[in-house]
Chains A and B, each alone.
Chain A
Amino acid sequence: DSGVTQTPKHLITATGQRVTLRCSPRSGDLSVYWYQQSLDQGLQFLIQYYNGEERAKGNILERFSAQQFPDLHSELNLSSLELGDSALYFCASSASTDSYEQYFGPGTRLTVT
């Protein structure tokens, strides 16, 4: 168990809908990262938050957004969903101070039908 929790584990929804994925980092970790794993693109970085502020952006679509709350949990919002958004979405956390090792949550498997 990495100490990173994600909910829900599975999500099935229709095209055009909006969903929210939730992540709680390891106790004490200030950075939260979101990654997407799809069959055709592999594992790709989406976005990073550090202590409530956006720190880095990767290949994140404009239909996707994220935020990190004062208690350091994070949410990834996916809107106007398309079939191609079906993927495994991982959250990871790190201390980002004395250590940059990232610990991954169990993932949320999103299926868009």
Chain B
Amino acid sequence: DQQVKQNSPSLSVQEGRISILNCDYTNSMFDYFLWYKKYPAEGPTFLISISSIKDKNEDGRFTVFLNKSAKHLSLHIVPSQPGDSAVYFCAASAQKGSSNTGKLIFGQGTTLQVKP
């Protein structure tokens, strides 16, 4: 039972354009969402997060949008750069009282390729 889903395995965009990575979740107990970036044979590095009390969080070129009613979040990268090429993981966490307390549940990942 996949609680966090990234339905697009890959995405290719031109340098300078916008990259939009999508993520859906099923568990309404999730209240904190994070995006991680990962290069091959390395550990994921934290990119940006959003709490369920917000619908948008921005950090430089990266913006995460959260639509709680649709249980959907997206990561926007503007402008996209070749160095952004990596695998992006969406992840969700729940507060205390949930069976997912303390855990981070990951999606399958989306491989982003930014072409020069």
Are A and B interaction partners?
A: no
